[in-house]
Amino acid sequence: MHLGLSPIQFGLLLLIDQKPGASQGELARAMGTPASVAVGAVRELEDAGMVTRARRQSDRRRHMLALTPKGRVVLDEGKRKVALVEDKLGELIGKEQKCRLLENLRSIALK
């Protein structure tokens, strides 16, 4: 199964799963991406039937996001593929170097 997601879209699915009901702005901040980029990616995910947006009762300007069943299937498949790549990476360079590499990539992503 080819996921057909951009890295931002996959990241959004991960965050929506971790923070159900989060707003688009909250997710954009968590990803360190401009809100306009996140909103566009959310729109694409919504059009693809992977997420839903609903207005917050307490603040009608903000949307709460949730995964749909299709979004859950795609996210689970993406996680499975990431695990396979990480396992293969461990085979190629060893577990210790793989851990260091992933640690370095996380620190770069957080800057």
Per-residue pLDDT tens digits for 8-35: 999 999 999 998 888 888 899 988 889 8
pLDDT lower than 50: segments of the chain? none
Half-sphere exposure of 24 (CA within 13 A, CB side): 22
Q: Report the candidate in 81, 59, 77 with the shortest Cα–Cα distance to residue 67.
A: 77
Residue ranges of E strands in the chain:
51-55, 63-67
How many other CB atoms sit within 10 Å of the CB of residue 82? 12
Q: What average pLDDT does the chain have?
A: 87
pTM reported for the whole predicted model: 0.82
How many other CB atoms sit within 10 Å of the CB of residue 101? 14
Residue 1: the pLDDT is 55
| CB 85, CB 7: distance < 8 Å | no
3-state SS class at 53: strand
Question: In whole angstroms, how far apart are CA 1 and each of 30, 44, 54?
Answer: 28, 19, 29
- Which token pair is 5? 């997601």
